[in-house]
Amino acid sequence: MDIYTIIFLALAVFIFLRLRSVLGQRTGNERPPFDRNALQGAQDKNVVTMPGKVIDQAPLAPAAEPTPPSDRWKGLTEPGTVLAQGLDAIVEKDSTFDPRHFISGARGAYEMIVLAFANGDRRALRDLLSSEVYESFDAAIKEREKNEQKTETRFVSIDKAELVGAELRDRTAQLTIRFVSQMISATRDKAGNIVDGSADTVADITDIWTFARDITSRDPNWKLVGTGSAN
């Protein structure tokens, strides 16, 4: 090997070492190339929609054309009826009123009140009844307690909750619903003997209840102000 070959080899090694020190070498821990699309996708997946702060209020629906008067209470009553006029009067004073939403809530209240009365749960009844109706229910509970009787009631089904009346009296809206249900109810004395009803017979019950609410009040709750039965 002559002197020129040695010089060229040394120069090649020197150049290789310089390039390595400047460019570095792959170790397996390098960061991947920057991918803007991947970053944007990750950001989109981590976007969290903050909940609204309006209490007990459904989100506003997109703007739509006004409902024609003939279809306003479709499925509830026919245009021009006394019921339709009563609903119109309530909505005119309270634009947030939704009778369909009310009926749904009334079904739950009906079952809750019947069971609370059977169990003698005065605390639950006080929040759901007007003072006059509460006094009536409380008197019946006291009579049971005096006679050392207990009532057992179980719902089999609520087959219908139908709006049959609507009225606005000054600031008070009143809505009347006919409930058609099936339930089993029996009242037992101290010894456990049945003195009223039946423990295994399903009875068809039709109740007509009226609920009321001051539409100018901040309290959104309706209270039971009148009861009747078609049985």
pLDDT band at 51 (very low <50, low <70, confident <90, very high): very low
- Residue range 31-50, pLDDT digits in tens: 333 333 333 333 333 333 32
Phi/psi of residue 122, nearest 5 degrees: -65, -35
Residue pointed to by tokens 């039709």: 206
Specify the 3-state DSSP secondary structure of 139.
helix
**Tell me, what DSSP letter sits at residue 179?**
E
Instruction: Name residue, tokens 């004073």.
Output: 93
Cite the DSSP H helix spans in the chain: 3-23, 36-45, 82-93, 99-119, 122-128, 131-146
pLDDT band at 59 (very low <50, low <70, confident <90, very high): very low
- Per-residue DSSP letter, 129: B
CA angle, 206 then 210 then 211, to 5° = 130
CB-CB neighbours of 181 under 10 Å = 20
Least Cα distance to 222 among 127, 94, 92 occurs for 127
pLDDT tens readout for residues 82-112: 999 999 999 999 999 999 999 999 999 999 9
- Going along the chain from its start, the domains and CATH numbers come out as 76-230 (3.10.450.240)
- What span, in angstroms and rounded, lies between the C-alpha atoms of 60 and 63? 9
- Its pTM stands at 0.69
